[in-house]
Structure 1
């Protein structure tokens, strides 16, 4: 990847990783060579207790009060997705907007998050081997939400996932509102496996390559696992896909969403109105100017903007465990991962009213003395609009490093009691370099005339056409910023049985935890001063907090097959004080094949550090926006102001869960259905004091729907013409700062079914289906279910077959139909109707042939039918589809070769 970061550091990191790899491979081979060849004597097998996500109490069976989805490594591979992040994101209970390379533009160009239940990526707690992980250094939602980047872990290190679809603040604390994802990394592995994956889209070139290695060895007392990976993917542009090649959506009945910040530029002149030129010109004259017409002259930024960034990732993971005595062991985990993304947006747009200049109002001015101004008057403020196309596309290069180190001790105390204590440090550092930018003061100097650094000539900026390369080089500016979020965690847990009841042992788990969190954001002087043309504006930010926690959990078997789980957690935050949250759950097997379960808990979400301390940012919408209350105004990028709010208080959520699991036993009355399971769960989240911002598009399109939206749209005072026409004042900006809103409600149903059967002649078959149906997702009085980014129905279907050396599978992803946002403006060429975004099926098939015990070859495809995303042309998106829900990538074909030694 041709990026500006240090190549020596790159080469050194890779050399270290592969040196360790070679040593571990040799160790694994030695362990296998020295392994005994005779079969051990027959022994009695004791089932070992293990910890299930959602409970700290170890148990033998996995089914209890918690609604948990367990996803094995094999199931992740069968989904066909090349990244774990993509596989998780397509689960039906992941919905709503979240960070993804296809929709992050300049803020986190290669990060991936998930959004369980549509309650926000920041409300899903991510654990690594049962412990918290540091959030992504560059906060999401334009710098305000602490989220976890799924790309910050080496994919080869991931062994399985557990998804708890229930609130769990009583177990894990803040953030565990909509659920918990526990990413289980490899702990015990012997051997050496390497995988090579190559793939590409069939109608463009987003060539992908990935190499992974896993190796491990163990002795009687020591085990060691090492995993490493490298991946690279080419960029994909919006113009590579027919449906997103232009922001002019009139052909489909939508609006012309191309930008009014044009090339050639346009100016508003007394007596002439708003004029431009039919083509770029080096000799503009007043006579040659034409009246500006958005249908003819608007700028198609989709032509040069990335759909997916150029992306490169690599890293490693090491875990070691050693038994110090028969009752005490030591363990350590060390990982580091780099995520390197390069995204390109359209050339810098200039609206004179949004930039700093020397006009009497402090805005940019295009003076009459400029030889390229043929109109004889000074032109300033919003009367001056143009685009610096000669600079090239604005490039954002994000490099994130995520090191993590954990050391700990554990062991047994007495009977079945175990304990563990650890210390962990983890942080995420993101370095951002922005190129092909321009500064307000440089543009103003060039408009007024500046002496060329090389030629010594006086050079003037021409908003209407080509400019001298020397002047363009004078205007070109780069700026850097850095972001870090750090976490230090210390914890100790203990658990076991306290006494026996007729129905079984009473289990107890207790623990304490202390963590330090710190946020640091550093902006360039020009960014702090708001000098970046057409770009974001931000301030340096620093904040920290300390959190001390204590929790306890009790599992009581009432009668055989029935148990109650009671848990509580007390926490003290240095910034807002104390909180305590309880949980109670119950499960009962009313019949050998029918499990009923339910729970109630109080979940909470502490304000994220960026939400409290961010000094403020100014950003712009990714595409042109139409003011729904002034549809005749030209579409333009929407200015968005977001400021940290130190008065935020924690949000609280009452979480209700209830359902049943149908699972016939092999030797029971329904033994003929053995292998089939069916589950239904009802969920309800009732949040109060919710911390939220709604997105500029939602605020603008619902300005009159609720006071919480109306006071966020900032408009100029009405002119006499506005009053006469019954129009509000012109749109200035949207304030999308976070606030504690009144209420949030989320209700729906989860359905899942699985069936596995084996035959003597035809091999093994497996089928699974999952679906989530939403009844409600509302913020205050605003209901979003069945609208943009929130379909009522999502589901997956998976079918697989294996016989001898051959196996095949197909994974299907279904997204139901839902309504778009707003109405296609007739003033901009739309049909004046509300669009329904159609439902969609995507199919990912693959076939694997195992040449021997050591070699396997897989051929697969994502979106094998090359189905385009359904049209969305009345919303605030300019891509032509809902990129918060759907993918624009197209058919992706891949081959994978696996070698096991």
Structure 2
């Protein structure tokens, strides 16, 4: 793929050079008046003539984008309340998921796979690496691959759109419209930096355009380079950097001493192990637990050492990103217009997480009695150990993507038509360093000489030479492609009714999607761990086995849309789309919407649509995978044994089975609202309100390991829970429990060796809420022009069924009930300024709770007798000011200078009892960031 990309870039660079050499100096235009609140909307309908107010669309224009000073799409889109959280973003360091320079849009909090993202009105290629949400593979469209400085307009259709745009549009559509038909040449530089951390960023941009052949041909280009220095979590307040938050003065006193606030890891540089031997069934029979204490002595039991792994964690990655866009349009002699575009994106990202932990759930490693450093005289099963001298696990991700598109448009017999063909591809190479091979580690531990690996010596016990004998890196290579063709035909006057002309849009689409997930040979089963009869498909310590997978699908679609004026005040939008998936069957989904204007100042709108989302390619084709998971308690054994593996403190093995019989998800969406635009003294005011309701059926879920264990506990057996036979020690512990608990008698069972769960269509999801917006533009004469805007989104219902249980996710762990944004923009002559605010409502954290009787404040769950920790609201302000030099005869003419502050009041993210101390999908730790930008037009 990279050879193809290099050829594309070589061609693009040549065209850019030709363009730059031929570009004439453009006269610098005078400053324009402030943009009106109305925008030309291209998303939501393909029929010209549909009233713009008929659609629940949020538009962010070029002036708003510039005023916010955001340098990546995630930060920019977070100012649109209906967008939801960014459940997948660049802070992720987990092994089996998308890492690096990524961000996926999550409209209505339905998940990234329910939001279709368009670039210039056409489908983007999905990100090559999929991510898991609640254990289910989910795709995302990487909006960070689009440079925010190249975007002229963002359109968010807050309504179900499968009937118009097909699968993945069940939650809505986000369209990024890039700058087109630019004349002249300009270059800019922007620098920003945080007051309190090492975070800084530099953006270099150049763009140009020229019309030739008497205006019939237009050439354009856009290029940008972005460079960011990341942040270590150790740079933040101890509330975030220290995993033991007990006693922290930022925690309310009623919660301050709660033991749940101690999140220090029990996996430390001081090893914990079991004495014993391996029996004929491959199970280690323990004769007792031991640990190495800080005096490097062997103690009984598991010890009390704890480790703050946040000291090694990077919370924001170092990132370099480059983008290039070339455009060409030409009016042919026969009235046909041709257009082409090439876009290219490349990024390099580096971050790190703590040195790798090793426990018996992650790697079943036995240290023989003959090991040079083994002082016990017995074989040892390594239960917990973290060799910090190995160093932090460094993660480097290289990403590339490109799109080549060409098309024609024209008019024939009163029909406007357009057709295009495009090919898009994306790749990601994700490599993690300072990992350990289980095979190499076992070989080193088997040595009887001083060059063997030493787990008994505490921190720094192993030299660099010894570490290099077990050190490896693991790499994951991912690719995705999209080949597509479309043709659309529109006519604004198909036929006439008494109230006006009926408009229509007809279209055909074809696309082929592929994905490839190529795991490291030590992870995909090619180089398994097989020592002393112990077998594991993964040879990488701390990484579950995942086999390589690849798949493709072809989708053929046909759609029709009609805009029907019933009266002078009432019009309907009727749409339907048929789609045929090569691997998921076919479907037809309709949409009907109505727009009614009983008064000049008041319009009412409503819609009903059906949605469709086929299972994504990883869900259907990933196959069976092995995962090792933490924090899943065994309800039959935890109280009895108290062992870490039973309480969930250690990793346990699970199997997640693919399902080729998954059915598509189906959605019903209802939306109702109004638009109020008075004239007279309040001319320039626009108020909108839309209430919406979404019901999804056949949602693809993984019931999960905890669910399978609960079923076994409730019904006495579950074939999906596989256990070892109870040992004599197990039986003795159960006998003691039964003697002490006559009302809770338990049959002896052994520990789990595997828990099996499968992707299924099971759940119903019901989500409701409303959006409101107030915009007001006015001219204050000598004072200048003003534009005020406020957007509010409320999530009033989010019910998710999981088996027999229905859970309300409003305010739960990342789904705020309220979100809002607002801005005040001012412009006078060459000056402009903008003050904006963003509000994220309170949520509660399920990982920190107490009983109702404790009297602590928080969110009460009477069913479980719990009070959950409330994560505070978060309000941040951004400010910017700019001045443009025009009408001058010196070098300053055409210079635009802007400066601003993001997070003006330096608000820290509200605390949540998670590893980093806050929800990164909702909040950020940048702090107050100052920025300065200079643009020169030539």
User: Given the two structures, how large is their TM-score scaled by the length of structure 2?
Assistant: 0.84
Matched, 1:514 2:510: yes
Q: Does residue 805 of the first structure (1) align with residue 804 of the second (2)?
A: no
Are the equivalent residues in 1 in contact too, given 2:712–2:721 (CA < 8 A)? Answer: no
Residue of 790, 794, 804 corresponding to 1:773:
794
Using a 3 Å threshold, how does the CA distance of structure 1 residues 319 and 619 change in structure 2: closer, same or farther? farther
Choose the corresponding residue for 1:572, options 580, 585, 599: 580
Shift of 1:67: 0.7
Cα distance, 1:51–1:512 mapped onto 2, change above 3 Å:
farther
Assess if the C-alpha contact under 8 Å between 2:665 and 2:696 holds in 1.
yes
Alignment of 1:656 onto 2:637: no
User: Are 1:884 and 2:918 matched, yes or no?
Assistant: no
1:240 Cα shift? 1.7
**Greater mean alpha carbon deviation, residues 739-748 or residues 142-151:** 142-151
**1:470 alignment partner in structure 2:** 465
Aligned twin of 1:88: 77
TM-aligned CA deviation for residue 836 of structure 1: 1.0
2:274 is matched with which residue: 249, 268, 273? 268
Q: Is the alpha carbon distance of 1:341 and 1:16 closer, same or farther for their aligned partners in structure 2, counting shifts above 3 Å?
A: farther
**How far apart, CA to CA, are the structure 1 residues paired with 2:554 and 2:916?**
43
For residue 351 of structure 1, what is the aligned residue in structure 2? Answer: 359
Task: Verify: 1:108 aligned to 2:116, yes or no.
Answer: no
Partner-residue secondary structure (3-state), 1:77: helix
* In structure 1, distance between residues paired with 2:101 and 2:757: 24
Query: How big is the shift at 1:17?
Result: 6.2
Shift in CA distance, 298/11, structure 1 to aligned 2, threshold 3 Å: farther
Assess, with a 3 A threshold, how the Cα gap between structure 1 residues 716 and 574 changes in structure 2: closer, same or farther.
same
Asked if the contact 1:28–1:190 (Cα under 8 Å) also holds between the matched residues in 2, the reply is no
Distance 1:760 1:342 in 2: 51
Write the distance in 2 (CA, Å) between the matches of 1:830 and 1:731: 37
Query: 8 Å contact 1:155–1:229 — kept in the other structure?
Result: no
Query: Which deviates the most, 762-771 or 651-660?
Result: 762-771
TM-aligned CA deviation for residue 636 of structure 1: 4.5
> Does 2:868 correspond to 1:869?
no
From the superposition, tell whether residues 830 and 77 of structure 1 become closer, same or farther in structure 2 (CA, over 3 Å).
Answer: farther
Deviation at 1:85?
Answer: 2.5
CA distance in 1 between partners of 2:72 and 2:722 (Å): 41
Shift of 1:450: 7.3
* Cα displacement (A) at 1:823: 3.9
Paired with 1:578 and 1:437, the residues of 2 have a C-alpha distance of 45
C-alpha distance in 1 between matches for 2:501 and 2:306: 72
Aligned to 1:504: 500
* Separation in structure 2 between the aligned mates of residue 427 and residue 811 of structure 1, nearest angstrom: 37
Structure 2 SS opposite 1:820: strand
Residue 292 of structure 1 deviates from its aligned partner by 4.0
* Residue 123 (1) aligns with residue 163 (2): no
1:379 aligned partner: 380
How far has the Cα of 1:789 moved from its partner?
A: 0.5
1:671-686 to 2 correspondences below 5 Å: 671-686=680-695
Where 2:24 maps in the other structure, the secondary structure is: helix
- Aligned with residue 442 of structure 2, among 444, 464, 473: 444
Q: Secondary structure at the match of 1:738?
A: strand
User: Is the contact between residue 21 and residue 215 of structure 1 (CA under 8 Å) also seen in structure 2?
Assistant: no
Deviation at 1:276, TM superposition (A): 3.0
Q: Deviations over 1:730-766 (max 9, x none)?
A: 6777767533123010001111111111111111111
Is the alpha carbon distance of 1:16 and 1:419 closer, same or farther for their aligned partners in structure 2, counting shifts above 3 Å? closer
How far apart, in 2, do the equivalents of 1:788 and 1:854 lie? 48
Deviates more, 1:634-643 or 1:148-157: 634-643
Question: C-alpha distance in 2, partners of 1:715/1:310?
Answer: 44
Q: Deviations over 1:462-507 (max 9, x none)?
A: 3443113221111111232211111100111101121223322110
Once the two structures are TM-superposed, the CA of residue 96 in structure 1 deviates from its matched residue by 4.2
Cα displacement string for residues 118-143 of structure 1 (whole angstroms, at most 9, x for unaligned residues): 10001100111111111001112279
Gaps of 5+ in 2: 30-38, 277-285, 526-537, 857-865, 887-892
Superposed, 1:6-21 pairs within 5 Å as 20-21=15-16
The answer to whether the Cα contact below 8 Å between 2:385 and 2:455 also exists between their aligned partners in 1 is no
What are the ranges of 5 or more consecutive residues in structure 1 without an aligned counterpart?
36-48, 356-362, 452-456, 666-670
1:390 pairs with 2:389: yes
CA 1:209–1:700 in 2, change beyond 3 Å: closer, same or farther?
farther
Does the CA-based 8 Å contact 1:386-1:464 persist in structure 2?
A: no
Going from structure 1 to structure 2, the CA distance change for 1:883 and 1:830 (only over 3 Å counts) comes to farther
**Secondary structure at 1:213's aligned position in 2?**
strand
Judged with a 3 Å threshold, the aligned counterparts in structure 2 of structure 1 residues 821 and 53 are, in CA distance, closer, same or farther, namely: same
1:52/1:58 contact within 8 Å kept: no
In the TM superposition, residue 420 of structure 1 has moved relative to its aligned partner by 0.9
Q: TM-score, structure 1 length as denominator?
A: 0.87
Give yes or no for contact 1:824–1:830 (8 Å, CA) kept in 2: no
Matches within 5 A, 1:40-439: 52-59=42-49, 61-64=51-54, 66-96=55-85, 98-106=87-95, 107-141=98-132, 144-219=137-212, 220-242=215-237, 243-251=239-247, 252=251, 253=256, 254-269=260-275, 274-279=289-294, 284-286=296-298, 289=299, 292-294=302-304, 297-355=305-363, 363-380=364-381, 384-415=383-414, 417-439=415-437
- Give, in whole Å, the separation in 1 of the partners of 2:709 and 2:820: 29
Which of 860, 864, 870 aligns to 1:836? It is 870
* Kept in 1: contact 2:514–2:553 (CA 8 A): yes
* Matched residue, 1:738: 759
- Whether 1:756 aligns to 2:757 is no
C-alpha contact 1:352 1:365 (8 A) present in aligned 2: no
SS at match of 1:645: coil
- The residue matched to 2:132 in structure 1 has which SS? helix
Aligned residues: 844
Look up the SS of the partner of 2:108 in the other structure. Answer: coil
Instruction: Judge conservation of contact 1:194–1:213 (CA < 8 Å) in 2.
Output: yes
Contact 2:233 2:313 in 1 (8 A): yes
Describe the SS at the equivalent of 1:59: coil
- Cα gap change, 1:788 to 1:152, in 2 (>3 Å): same
